[in-house]
Amino acid sequence: MTKDKPALGFIGMGLMGAPMTRRLLEAGYDVTVWNRTNEKTAQLLEAGARPGKSPKSIAANVDITMMCLTAAPAVEAVVFGEDGIAGAKGTGKLLVDFSSMRPDLTAEWSVRLRDTNAMGWIDAPVSGGVPGAEQGTLAIMAGGETAEIERVRPVVMNLCQRLTHMGASGAGQTTKLVNQIIVGCNVVVVAEALAYAAKAGVDAAKIPDALAGGFADSIPFQLFGPRFAGGIYEPPLGKLALMTKDLGTASDEAAGVNSAAPMTNLALELMRLLEARGHSHDDITILRELYGDKPLR
């Protein structure tokens, strides 16, 4: 670590957190890591990370604590639970939360944390999936105070191609829900379209190249099209349960502001159907099973 680089903590070594931490280590930052299950930290420790005893101990000994967790209950436990971040002195320190959850909870908990230990909270959910985390090309949408976001920008830019300040606390989470509505509906439509192509006698594997650059093209189409066509599940890109969780939140939030969400609700119901069949923790590519149990080619 050099004198101009803040000491970092990272909590949550899942599909996204682990490659994000690795990028910070490669950028020369001193990073202390913690995960609920120790085995997920092993490779990061081998790469040079320091082991943290608890979220509280990490927050007490670094300048910026980052976390990427599965859902609001995990965030609440890590921040306000036993040996949580809120138990450390937080004056002059920042928490950057890459998790996805309800905007109102983020706004409420950011106030609670600042009142408890004076630590600032930035909600900074991400888009780009595992490939984006590995390549440092994520899109990050942030909510919080301008000065605090600008303070973490040099660090966070090691993880992304774009960090956009969307507004006050919770605005980042709202923007992530917009992202998930677009992506969640898109991947269901891609699976449906490729199933149609295959059943109509067209080689579905050729569809992504055939439509590249046209109005139907998109990053999700190019990412998931080949996976749907070929029945490719590895490497995993994200659990179905996480997308279902986000679309459920988006549906609730849309209803709360009286915004119609028929496409969101349809995609959500289709995903819940797969969850009912026991696929909750499968890779999101399992969506192709809605249209048949064989490769679409």
The set of catalytic residues is 176
Contacts of 50 (CB under 8 A, 6+ apart): 30, 31, 32, 33
Contacts of 252 (CB under 8 A, 6+ apart): 102
Placement of tokens 């119609």 in the chain: 260
Q: What DSSP string describes 27-46?
A: TT--EEEE-SSGGGGHHHHH
Contacts of 23 (CB under 8 A, 6+ apart): 133, 134, 136, 158, 159
Asked if residue 63 lies in contact with residue 91, where contact means CB atoms within 8 angstroms, the answer is no
Strands 126-127 and 138-143: antiparallel
Task: Give 214's DSSP letter.
Answer: S
Cα separation, 24 vs 10, whole angstroms: 10
Cα separation, 95 vs 58, whole angstroms: 11
Residue 170 gets the label, from left (phi > 0), alpha (psi -120 to 50) or beta, of left
